[in-house]
Amino acid sequence: MPDAPQVQVDNLRALIEQHNRSYHLLDAPTVSDAEYDSLMEQLKTLEAAYPELQSSSSPSMRVGGAVLAGFREVRHALPMLSLANAFSDIEVRDFFERMASAVGSEALEFSAEPKLDGLAMSLKYVNGELTQAATRGDGETGEDVTHTVRTIASVPLKLNGQAPALLEVRGEVYMPRAGFHRFNEILKARGDKLMVNPRNAAAGSVRQLDPKLAAERPLAFFAYGIGASDGFNSSERHSSTLAQFRALGLPVSPLVENVSGVAGLLAYFNKIGASRDSLPYDIDGVVYKLDRYDWQQRLGFVSKAPRFALAHKFPAQEMPTRLLAIDVQIGRTGAVTPVARLEPVFVGGVTVTNATLHNFDEVQRKDLRIGDTVIVRRAGDVIPEVARAVLELRPESTCSWQMPTECPECGSAIRRIDGEAVARCTGGLFCPAQRKEGVKHFASRRALDIEGLGDKIVDQLIDAKLIATPADLFSLTFTALASLERLGEKSAANLIDAINKSRKPTLERLLFALGIPQAGENTAKQLARYFGSMDALIAASTDELKLIKDVGPQVSASVRAFFDEPHNLEVIAKLKANGVLWTEHAPIREISGPLAGKTFVLTGTLPTLSRDQAKARLEALGATVSGSVSKKTSFVIAGSEAGSKLAKAEELGLQILDEAGLLAMLASFDLTA
């Protein structure tokens, strides 16, 4: 016989709250989202069928309710006090010595915990049920935000076990970093204004008048203190109170520790500081509280802060300063990055004078202008960034910043391909900022394969001004190479020999070696096959480039921009003048062969064929060999230790062959080893 409705409802509520604690407090979910949703639907169905069983403490009531017209004032039964701050070890020692002197003992124990960067909150439980949530406000009077706090999954609507008649719990509402970033992505997709930081996001979410909007926000709560109470088994120590909170189902930071003496306080501060950037939420310091309640009472209060507690703050991670200029830096691939030049400001423990602005779109989105007062953010070792402009302090004479049209390093054109966030310098083979990486790529194994020309030798050649572009490699002399540090005569002779061996590359290898943005090895092969000669490719229009298989608008625009830059043409001409003679052929407009139109993906290690051998044999039959699996993939050739590509192929239901299957296919076309 099925259980009575009341029993079913009670069991479902208990089970759902258990899953809530596992998910939100322990970060160890015990059921899938689908199973959780199913339990919630069962509960809602029963509550709808039996209205008399509905309860304000039911987990089904976390979302819902009417939109409020405003916030009601709540007067706190006991004031919610702020804390005195310390910013140095000396201040912490002074704090300890004052207390030791006041209580007549240096054997002081403290409860220490991270100082969450969120919104202080008071939760009122009457006979175990949440009846009110209020912000700290001015410490005496706060705002009634019960309707939004009820939507926070980590806040219990009903306490576990034998609850006291009255319990006011003090704590912090915060927004975890992961949730903050996920919700900002949702806002971005909607075209809505993004949230500035997790602290502001938490405060703004709690102050929503519509609880349904608040329920969308990924908020959480940690309890850290007690207010008024009646029937609560008050212990002699703060740490014991936190243990009782946990037993009642209230979330308490897992990083709370008991420490002794000044050494214990400072060791805890340094330990939490070292892990600060890896925590799932923002903190701005740690809090020390004398653990014994009788000593707390003896010390009392000063103004609106207790004498027995202290907030030891980390260096500020956000500070205002003035934006003096916006320059651009050219990366090794030609990417143009705007950089803010700032009035020096101390933030996150260091003096900051420069900060990345990422790209032109970011400057426009934040509407940053020279002369603005801006907020600079730095977290740990993260590169400083400009978070936002303070619009109310903007000078009247400012105007929007424009991306320069010429590279500051080489004077080549800066162009931005439609659909790309990053603008690029087009002087790839000529630009000093791209020089070293360009030469290293040119000499790499899959490009011109100049054996012995390693990174350190390239660095030496460029630093000594022996070469400026890849073309200069072919005018190097034995004497010049032998003069380099740690490069003896034999190595110099071997390198000259390797350079000479690379003077007759195929057109496709040369095109790949040139490092044309967005033109990888396969694109270089398609370009060489379709046009047959360098001159024909240089003369090709963007529309003609787009006719090539797998060359879309962005790639064709990037190729065209590369050959439109005179500096790149000069380097190509110099290669030819220095004796580099690439092989050319008649253009192949149509790819022929029995596997034309088929796309293969190779993954894992084959027993006898190398990846290059398998690729060459497939391409000789007209197949396209791709580096990624998609619905358009015809066959996946899988060897040992095949990874994610094989998994994706199985998921898509693609045809998968091993080496034996591949060899059988090749043999059927009379293409044996």
pLDDT at 567: 87
Taking 70 as the threshold, does the pLDDT of residue 505 lie above it? yes
Q: Tens digits of per-residue pLDDT, 334-353?
A: 889 999 999 999 886 678 89
Q: What's the whole-number mean pLDDT along residues 173-179?
A: 93
491 burial level (CB within 10 Å; 0-12, 13-18, 19+):
middle
Separation CA 185–CA 29 (nearest Å): 24
pLDDT tier at 539, thresholds 50, 70, 90:
very high
Q: What's the whole-number mean pLDDT along residues 131-138?
A: 90
pLDDT tier at 673, thresholds 50, 70, 90:
very low
DSSP reduced 3-state for 500 = helix
More confident residue, 378 or 545: 545
More confident residue, 368 or 628: 368
Taking 80 as the threshold, does the pLDDT of residue 304 lie above it? no
| The 166-174 sheet, strands edge to edge | 129-135, 119-126, 166-174, 220-230
122 residue type, one letter: S
pLDDT at 133: 94
- Superfamily, domain 5-61: Helix hairpin bin (1.10.287.610)
Taking 70 as the threshold, does the pLDDT of residue 176 lie above it? yes
CATH of domain 318-393: 2.40.50.140
pLDDT at 531: 92
Q: What's the whole-number mean pLDDT along residues 52-77?
A: 69
pLDDT at 81: 86
Close Cβ partners of 139 (under 8 Å, ≥ 6 residues apart): 76, 79, 80, 81, 82, 304
pLDDT at 3: 66
List own/partner pairs for 474-478 with CB under 8 A and 24 or more apart.
Answer: 474/499, 474/503, 474/575, 474/578, 474/579, 474/580, 475/578
pLDDT at 671: 44
Taking 80 as the threshold, does the pLDDT of residue 63 lie above it? no
Q: What's the whole-number mean pLDDT along residues 257-276?
A: 94
Read off the tokens for 473. 């490699």
pLDDT at 234: 66
- Among 19-23, 376-380, 524-528, 584-588, which stretch is predicted with the lowest mean pLDDT? 19-23
DSSP reduced 3-state for 302 = strand
- Among 54-63, 386-395, 413-422, 596-605, which stretch is predicted with the lowest mean pLDDT? 54-63
Q: What's the whole-number mean pLDDT along residues 153-161?
A: 91
CB 626 within 8 A of CB 602: no
- Among 31-45, 142-156, 187-201, 308-322, which stretch is predicted with the lowest mean pLDDT? 31-45
pLDDT tier at 382, thresholds 50, 70, 90:
low
- In the DSSP assignment, the letter for residue 623 is -
Q: Tens digits of per-residue pLDDT, 218-263?
A: 999 999 999 999 988 767 899 999 999 999 999 999 999 999 999 9
Closest Cα to residue 47, out of 31, 64, 30?
A: 64
Please state which of the four CATH numbers 3.10.580.10, 3.40.50.10190, 2.60.120.10, 3.40.250.10 is assigned to the domain occupying 599-668: 3.40.50.10190
pLDDT at 1: 41
Beta bridge partners of 229: 167
pLDDT at 34: 63
Q: Please give the distance of CA 537 from its chain centroid, rounded to a whole number.
A: 40
Q: What is the mean pLDDT of the chain?
A: 87
Taking 70 as the threshold, does the pLDDT of residue 22 lie above it? no
Q: Tens digits of per-residue pLDDT, 100-117?
A: 999 999 899 999 999 998
Close Cβ partners of 230 (under 8 Å, ≥ 6 residues apart): 164, 165, 166, 167
- Among 3-7, 485-489, 537-541, which stretch is predicted with the lowest mean pLDDT? 3-7
Q: Tens digits of per-residue pLDDT, 632-646?
A: 899 999 988 787 888
Where in the chain are the domains? 5-61, 85-261+279-307, 318-393, 405-589, 599-668
State whether the Cα torsion 231-235-239-244 is positive or negative: negative
pLDDT tier at 615, thresholds 50, 70, 90:
confident
Question: Could you count the other beta carbons within 10 Å of the beta carbon of residue 456?
Answer: 12
Q: Tens digits of per-residue pLDDT, 564-614?
A: 989 899 999 999 999 999 999 888 776 667 888 888 999 988 888 888 888
Separation CA 383–CA 329 (nearest Å): 15
Fold topology of 85-261+279-307: D-amino Acid Aminotransferase; Chain A, domain 1 (3.30.470)
More confident residue, 501 or 11: 501
CATH of domain 405-589: 1.10.150.20
pLDDT at 277: 83
Has 115 been annotated as catalytic?
yes
- Counting residues of the chain whose pLDDT is more than 90, the rounded percentage is 44
Taking 60 as the threshold, does the pLDDT of residue 202 lie above it? yes
CB 417 within 8 A of CB 551: no
Taking 50 as the threshold, does the pLDDT of residue 188 lie above it? yes
pLDDT at 586: 86
Catalytic one of 44, 115, 289, 632: 115
Three-state SS string across 77-89, please?
CCCCCCCCEECCH
